[in-house]
Chain A
Amino acid sequence: MKNAKTYIKLSFFILAIGILTACKTFTLVEKGIFTDPVGMNVKPEINWNQHKYTNKEYAWTIDGEILNQVLFLSAGENEYFLPFKNRWGLTDPKSPQFNKNITLLEIPDLFVKGVESFGAQLTILNIDPVTFLDNDGFKLNFEFITADGLEKLGIVYGTIVNDRLYIMAYGGAVIEFYGKGVSDFIQMAESATL
């Protein structure tokens, strides 16, 4: 009987650990301190909350990822960027995938395709050439409505360096939340280095 109690206690302990580890954890990114998500060096001027999805996907937010979110993404040969997961948590093979034959010109379309796969209806406002990570890159401005009807605005910076794709993207709800992080995002993107 005593063993049984121990067994039950152990089961609950394992269950609790399982539940706790399943929760998404955020760490504080302090303003004024250099940090390098996915290898991009940036110095934020305001505090952000960071969640690391994988070594190649980091997300920052101020008010929660639905309301405002910065994505730091990186992809090498045949790697997915902006991967969307199926209901079992596996990367959907339709996610945009990078390879060295893809030109910079094609990246905005692939990004848009990825966002639309989440059910959003996206409109590109403009795509301009910029210097990003000290290389030729692009800046994409867009507006979109999420599957749940939330109106958002977004900006994406992207470039290819040594056959590797780097993307910094920011999106936020039009009402209030986009404005809270956009200027810090732009200053980070425009001063980011590898």
Chain B
Amino acid sequence: MKPFLKYFFLTLVIIYLSACADSLNKYSEPIKNIIPKNTEKNKDLNTDLTFKYSIDDLPTNYNPESDPNALVDELGLWMQVEKIEKSTITAGNLVKNKNLNNYINKVFCKVSPEYCNEIRIYIINVPYFNAAMYPNGMMHIWTGALLRIQNEAQLASLISHELAHYLKRHSYQAYERAISISGASTIGGILLGAAGLGSINQLIQLGMASNFYSYGRNDEREADGYGLVLMARGGYKPEEAANLWKRIIATSKKLSLLEVSIFRNTHPSGPEREKNLRKTAKIVPKNNSEFIGKKEYLKALEPIVPSLIAKEVKQGEFESSLLLFDKLIKDDFYLPYVYFSRGELYRTKKDHIDFDKAMENYKISEKYSTIEVKNLYKSIGLIYIKMGNKKNAKESFNKYISLHPDANDTNFIKSFMETL
């Protein structure tokens, strides 16, 4: 029995080691050998930059799929990512608002006219701060990021940062590192596991995939540097990149498990990045880079704000959502919705229920507008029920019905009032 077991385990170890060796051999070609040679510069883009990160270092016609130097495995990665893209296109939580999508694409084209028609940006309705660039030219921006961004320049900085990862091939390099550790099938499985997008389970998987995919500190510094160059060239005020980080830190004190993409451990810490970006923004070559675009950004976002804030209440983390709402109030950002939603947090979030605070916020929302927030009086009525004040509850429900006679639940509410 004992010698047999010994041989059995020895065989297992040999199989394991040979598998590792195979994996290492397979993927051990240095990255520098597979960087596309076809990186002809567009002379128009050349500037007299003395900055460490030059626009000239970025390829102007990078196209991974037609890269003749790509390894079979790299092409395999693109195929996997293309499957994710197919799922993204049909995902239930894809934001299809035409104006918003056009606006974000317009900002992208200002930042990078060279890749205006190459990069596909998808807005995914998930209430966490995240954005991701895939090696096939697909970019995801989660709505939690849109709600935290304050202006067009900050959006441009997020887009520029992600684009820099793509152009410097960081995704592929991270993939290669992950492969050497975990094996191709694992990473493939994780990537495909993320393909459904949207459910909490799948998002955790996506987070896990991001962790596998994690960029190193140097990659992040490089993406920050080139990101600044790209946004400044597009005419955006580079200091807004640092302000975005300040905003992220202020609205995400308690990091969620899902807020992984740019909060990963391998990244420089948030405050460090804010400091570095602020310092670097002063020396980045400018091109009339003063545009901030707060009005433009808020106008583009306005049509979907109610649904974004509602999603934040439904699925966001209490502390993080509260911090965000406090900041939005400070910014005078859609005040009736934000006060109402802060009330909803106190009315509905398990372990944080506080009816007095909820009512306080509803009443402020009411001062701004009695009609703009559709469910305001329904929620006020529910609070009165919890407080045992049936008379006021009925009054509130009646207000809801009179303000929204065509609402899809008026009959249900009328019937419910009869039971009070």
Contacts and interface: CB of A to CB of B under 8 A. Distances in A.
Contacts of A67: none
A129 B205 CA distance: 40
Interface in A84-117: 84-87, 92-94, 97, 101, 103-106, 108, 113, 116-117
B72 interface: no
Nearest to B4: A4
A134 to B, nearest CB: 15
A146 B92 contact: yes
B200 A92 contact: yes
B408 interface: yes
A145 B411 CA distance: 26
A63 interface: no
Contact of B200 (A7, A84, A124): A84
B415 A84 contact: no
A125 interface: yes
Nearest to A129: B415
Contacts of B197: 119, 147
Given A103-B382, A104-B416, A85 B409 contact: no
Most interface-central of B197, B408, B416 (chain A CB within 10 A): B408
Nearest to A95: B200
Given A86-B204, A119-B93, A147-B92, A3 B411 contact: no
Contacts, number: 103
A147 B314 CA distance: 17
B92 A117 contact: no
Given A92-B200, A147-B202, A120 B385 contact: no
Interface in B343-393: 350, 378, 382, 385-386
A60 to B, nearest CB: 22
B91 interface: yes
A126 B409 contact: yes
Contacts of B200: 84, 86, 92, 94, 117-118
Nearest to A123: B408
Contact of A149 (B91, B311, B409): B91
A117 B87 CA distance: 18
B315 A119 contact: no
A148 interface: yes
Given A92-B200, A103-B382, A117-B315, A1 B409 contact: no
A128 interface: yes
Contacts of B311: 116
A188 interface: no
B419 interface: yes
A126 B91 contact: no
B144 interface: no
A136 interface: yes
Contacts of B117: none
A135 B409 CA distance: 18
Interface in B181-212: 196-202, 204-205
Q: Contact residue range for chain A?
A: 35 or more
Interface in B287-323: 311, 314-315
Interface string A20-60: 00000000000000000000000000000000000000000
B382 A106 contact: yes
B92 A105 contact: no
A128 B198 contact: no
B93 A147 contact: yes
A145 B315 contact: no
Given A144-B92, A147-B91, A7 B1 contact: yes
Nearest to B408: A126
Nearest to B378: A105
Interface in A140-165: 144-149
Nearest to B417: A105
B412 A84 contact: no
B92 A121 contact: yes
Contact of B412 (A94, A119, A120, A138): A138
A127 interface: yes
Given A121-B92, A127-B408, A127-B412, 9 more contacts: A87-B201, A104-B416, A113-B315, A116-B311, A116-B314, A118-B200, A120-B93, A126-B408, A149-B87
Interface of B: 1, 4-5, 87, 89-93, 125, 196-202, 204-205, 311, 314-315, 350, 378, 382, 385-386, 408-409, 411-416, 419
Interface of A: 1, 3-4, 7, 84-87, 92-94, 97, 101, 103-106, 108, 113, 116-121, 124-129, 136, 138, 144-149
20 contacts: A86-B204, A87-B201, A94-B200, A105-B382, A113-B314, A113-B315, A116-B314, A119-B196, A120-B198, A121-B92, A121-B93, A127-B409, A128-B411, A128-B412, A129-B414, A129-B415, A148-B87, A148-B196, A149-B87, A149-B89
Closest 8 CB pairs of A and B: A119-B198, A149-B90, A129-B415, A147-B198, A145-B92, A119-B199, A127-B409, A121-B92
